[in-house]
Amino acid sequence: MASRLLWASRAASYLRISVFHRGFSSVLKDLKYADSHEWVKVEGNSATVGITDHAQDHLGDVVYVELPEVGAPVEQGSGFGAVESVKATSDINSPVSGKVLEVNEELNDSPGLVNSSPYDKGWIIKVEVTDSGELKNLMDADQYSKFCEEEDAKH
């Protein structure tokens, strides 16, 4: 069903006909996105990392977040922690390389913040970024929205 909708919208945009889009998960404009559904907000040398609305929706209710140690190194594309939901632990990968400056301790008592506020109170770690050039490997908001649509159309 979803793949037919995707074909219809592609055909429609080719013909420049407007198509009604059903609502998708929210995507924020100023953030960068990894294809493993993490977001990063860069402010100077430091970056805040979390998982996206699409990710939390597909995970289900988060009951546990495994956080790294402050000071631990992180690498773009590599795992730094995990979340547990519906008896599944899912690795979280870092969108940037660097060193962990801070972890969101609130998630120990309130892991559900990842679901209710994925871009704000549900932030997971803050990183001192070592290579800002790596950001070009990430998607912007529009690219990420399209990526999510294509992924959802697969089944």
- Contact letters for another protein, residues 47-66 (x by CB under 8 A): --------x-xxxxx-xx-x
Work out whether 4 is an interface residue with another protein (CB under 8 A): yes
Work out whether 75 is an interface residue with another protein (CB under 8 A): no
Residue closer to another protein, measured from CB, 141 or 153: 153
Work out whether 91 is an interface residue with another protein (CB under 8 A): yes
Could you give the CA distance from residue 25 to residue 52 in angstroms, rounded to a whole number?
Answer: 9
Tell me the H-state helices in 67-133. Answer: 106-109, 113-116
Measured on CA atoms in the order 83, 79, 105, 34, is the torsion positive or negative?
negative
Residue closer to another protein, measured from CB, 64 or 106: 64
- Contact letters for another protein, residues 21-50 (x by CB under 8 A): ---------------x--------------
Rg from Cα positions in the chain: 17
Work out whether 11 is an interface residue with another protein (CB under 8 A): yes
Cβ burial, residue 108 (10 Å; 0-12/13-18/19+): exposed
Q: Which residues contact 17 (CB under 8 A, 6 or more apart)?
A: none
In the numeric block, which tokens belong to residue 115?
A: 């679901």
Which residues contact another protein (rule: CB under 8 A)?
A: 3-4, 7-8, 11, 14-15, 36, 55, 57-61, 63-64, 66, 79, 82, 84-91, 93, 151-155
